[in-house]
Structure 1
Amino acid sequence: MTRPTESLPPDYFDGIYAGNPDPWGFTTSAYEAAKYDATLAALSRDTYGEALEVGCSIGVLTRRLAERCTRLLSLDVAETAIAAARARCADSPHVAFLRAAVPDAWPPGRFDLILVSEVLYFFTRADLARLAGHMVQAVKPGADIVLVHWIGETNYPLSGDDAVEALIAGTAGTLEPYRQTRTDRYRLDVLRTIGATP
């Protein structure tokens, strides 16, 4: 298999949503629902003051995550996905949405929680290094960084394992793995600022 040598561009995702408003079955998949349950169970706090979700898609997880955040900023590269997420969370005024392609368009601010679910393998190692640099600058002391990624075969620039390990390596010295779990289909990694109290 020949992997792409560039990070996947926004128009790749625009094309996916143009063909299917829920291309990964987020609203119907029992697998996705169970994975969301595990993601939320991995959060160490009942409530986060400032949270960032990178890759919100159509907002199914966003809606659930919003219940655990005082303020939540959710990003995606596809306008169709952002519009669907905004509609799904219309009754949650503390959730803001931004169309942004990271790492180029990283938002300002510092966060208690950064959630990155099913997106890291879309990037090259070089872009993951840039993304890691943004995260290091954006975390508050004691922040949680939650990474959830498919570990099966992909035709993206990286596999789930390679992408997650590259990000962890890029944040070394500031962040460290706090909790890591694997199922037969995905891995869930929680990073914390070094020296943070469990």
Structure 2
Amino acid sequence: MRSDTVDLAHFEQLYDRNPDPWRFATSDYERTKYAATIASLPQPRYARGLDVGCSIGVLTAALAVRCDDLLGIEPVEAALEQARQRNAETPWVRFASMFVPGDWPAEPFDLILMSEVIDYLGASDIVVLAGRIRESLAPGGDVVLVHWLGKKRSAIGSGEASDALIQALAGTVSILKAERNADYRIDVLRRV
């Protein structure tokens, strides 16, 4: 097992205790952050989007209106079932069980969104994730990183995780936008 990355059992236990452990469906904080995330997208429409760590699909539903085809990936089946139900009226939205960076879809994307995901990865897995992004991000495609800046159980701090991924992607992407507030950061990167 990857000792520097939070393991799958941690997330499964969270969903066993609470079907919405981060209050994605009810939190004003999440609603505001989701609106800022969608507003940060530099292109009005994307042909193929990837929502990494889609959880119960709340942000996925907001993202769906900007994508012709959208894949949400999440390792916890209980969360995926909620995501499928929440997005049942959008047939262009698909879901798959994957635990990044070991699992990754074998298709190209022009948008990859990671909201509060990479800070659960250890340093070595962030490097692996950068390789996955390089393999699948289409020319001119965008990567959007959104991360809470508070303390959480993770191998590396939120700001440090974003910085580490951006550094690992050096030469592949340029930074289009770097927004910060007291609670979270949004980084928008474009493939060069």
For normalisation by structure 1, the TM-score amounts to 0.94
Q: Is 1:137 matched up with 2:135? A: yes
Alignment match, 2:89: 91
Aligned partners of 2:47, 2:176: CA distance in 1, in Å?
20
Letter in 2 for 1:96: R
**How much does 1:6 deviate?**
2.1
Aligned partners of 2:173, 2:44: CA distance in 1, in Å?
21
> Is the CA contact (8 Å cut-off) linking 2:148 and 2:185 kept in structure 1?
yes
Alignment match, 2:147: 149
The answer for unaligned runs of 5 or more in structure 1 is none
> Is the CA contact (8 Å cut-off) linking 1:50 and 1:70 kept in structure 2?
yes
CA RMSD of aligned residues (A): 1.1
> Which of 149, 158, 161 is the aligned partner of 2:159?
161
**How much does 1:5 deviate?**
4.7
Deviations 1:160-191, CA, capped at 9 Å, x for gaps = 00100010011101112110000100000000
> Is the CA contact (8 Å cut-off) linking 2:120 and 2:153 kept in structure 1?
no
Deviations 1:132-180, CA, capped at 9 Å, x for gaps = 0110111111111000001112221011001000100111011121100
> Which of 34, 50, 71 is the aligned partner of 2:48?
50
Aligned partners of 1:134, 1:100: CA distance in 2, in Å?
13
Alignment match, 1:109: 107
Deviations 1:113-135, CA, capped at 9 Å, x for gaps = 00000011110000000000110
Query: Secondary structure of the equivalent of 2:10?
Result: helix
Aligned partners of 1:191, 1:79: CA distance in 2, in Å?
30
**How much does 1:89 deviate?**
0.3
Letter in 2 for 1:189: D
Pairing of 1:6-25 with structure 2 (within 5 A): 6-25=4-23
Aligned partners of 1:110, 1:175: CA distance in 2, in Å?
16
For normalisation by structure 2, the TM-score amounts to 0.97
Alignment match, 2:59: 61
Count residues in correspondence. Answer: 191
Aligned partners of 1:40, 1:102: CA distance in 2, in Å?
23
> Is the CA contact (8 Å cut-off) linking 2:70 and 2:93 kept in structure 1?
yes
Report runs of 4+ in structure 1 exceeding 4 Å deviation: none
> Is the CA contact (8 Å cut-off) linking 2:4 and 2:123 kept in structure 1?
no
The answer for unaligned runs of 5 or more in structure 2 is none
